[in-house]
Amino acid sequence: MFPAPFEYHRANSLEEALELLARFEGDAKLLAGGHSLIPTMKLRLNTPAHVIDIRNIPGFAEIRRSGDQLIIGGGTPHAAIEKSAEVQRSASALAHAAAVIGDPQVRNMGTIGGSLAHAEPAADYPAAVLAYDAQIVAVSAEGERTIPAGEFFVDLFTTALEEGEIIKEIRFPVDGDTVRSAYLKFPHPASRFAVVGCAVRLTMDGNTCTDARVAFTGVAATAFRDEGVEQDLIGKTLDDAAIKAAAQQAAENDELEFMEDHFASEAYRKHLAKVYAERAICTALGR
């Protein structure tokens, strides 16, 4: 199928992209990797009159370390995040997540900003972003604001981004010497999206866990932090029995709206959440 007619604009700077968004208010879409936008345009589920290409904005795909923060530009492709030595050192779980997105074609074209803005409930990045309690920096013609990861994912395909905003960059705390992190998922065999994905970030004092962040994707309508697992890890010596016991708390929140489809029932997703919580914790600890 072919999309409805539209006017193409190539932005050469973030300022130009924001000016175009403001000019065509409500009738323009941003094009980065295009993996979400182009299919919906071909199906005519999305019919913008203007498409603004932001793929080649200078500095928009930058990965850099600034003090105790790892800063990743919104236009950074998944493959660049996967292969970055700095990301592998500073945010292991994020590198793990990038490495298992789709296939090589998707990883070379898709971007972290586009993925987060789309808020696909089975995408890989949201769990990692939540486990790191990252900061999403959004910019518009009116200025810049920072959105904590815990406030960013609002509902199914819905985020805290406002009309006319672009994800400029995402800021992650750097894994220190005492931090262990990992991301694992059970992928759908066709789409490679996460049936269940789990990101963990543990702060350790020897074998004792002093802080824990555990987040899931693919389980519910939005990615979420699992406080039940976190609370059962903190203060414990993480031997095999303690890890297994904590993992059994996964996805036991009755307030969650669990996903269910022909491939995986709610009960199966809950089971996988426990399995992958245990595996992700063990992977983070190098076991």
Q: Are residues 168 and 263 in the same domain?
A: no
Report whether 95 contacts 82 (CB < 8 A).
yes
Report whether 171 contacts 71 (CB < 8 A).
yes
**173 forms bridges with which residues in the sheet?**
69
Maximum distance among all alpha carbons in the chain?
61
SS3 229: helix
Share of residues in the chain with pLDDT > 70 (%): 100
* pLDDT averaged over every residue in the chain: 96
Q: Are residues 85 and 144 in the same domain?
A: yes
The answer to the question of residue 106 being in a domain is: yes
Confidence of residue 157 (pLDDT cuts 50, 70, 90): very high
Q: How many domains does the chain have?
A: 3
Q: Are residues 33 and 92 in the same domain?
A: no
Give pLDDT, residue 16: 97
Confidence of residue 35 (pLDDT cuts 50, 70, 90): confident
The answer to the question of residue 1 being in a domain is: no
How many CA atoms are closer than 13 Å to the CA of 44, on its beta-carbon side? 5
**Which CATH number goes with the domain that contains 117?**
3.30.465.10
The answer to the question of residue 2 being in a domain is: no
Closest by Cα among 164, 168, 68, 64 to 116:
168
Among 173, 193, 223, identify where a domain stops: 173
Q: Which amino acid is at 114?
A: G
Residues 118-154 pLDDT 10s: 999 999 999 999 999 999 999 999 999 999 999 999 9
Examine the pLDDT at 254 and tell me if it is beyond 90.
no
Q: Are residues 132 and 76 in the same domain?
A: yes
Across the range 79-88, mean pLDDT stands at 98
The answer to the question of residue 97 being in a domain is: yes
Q: Are residues 67 and 158 in the same domain?
A: yes
Residues 159-184 pLDDT 10s: 999 999 999 999 999 999 999 999 99
The answer to the question of residue 44 being in a domain is: yes
**Which CATH number goes with the domain that contains 187?**
3.30.390.50
Tokens representing 228 are 């039940």
**Which CATH number goes with the domain that contains 37?**
3.30.43.10
Give pLDDT, residue 26: 87
Percent composition of the chain: helix, strand, coil (DSSP 3-state, to 5): 35, 30, 40
CA distance 181 to 97: 11
SS in 3 state form for 26-81?
CCEEEECCCCCHHHHHHCCCCCCCEEEECCCCCCCCCEEEECCEEEEECCCEHHHH
DSSP 8-state code for residue 4: P
The answer to the question of residue 58 being in a domain is: no
Give pLDDT, residue 2: 86
Examine the pLDDT at 1 and tell me if it is beyond 80.
no
Residues 218-246 pLDDT 10s: 999 999 999 999 999 999 999 999 999 99
Examine the pLDDT at 60 and tell me if it is beyond 80.
yes
Across the range 187-210, mean pLDDT stands at 97
Q: Are residues 166 and 207 in the same domain?
A: no
SS3 104: helix
Among 173, 206, 221, identify where a domain stops: 173
Range of the domain at 219: 179-284
Give pLDDT, residue 287: 87
CA distance 181 to 28: 38
Give pLDDT, residue 11: 97
Q: Are residues 203 and 104 in the same domain?
A: no
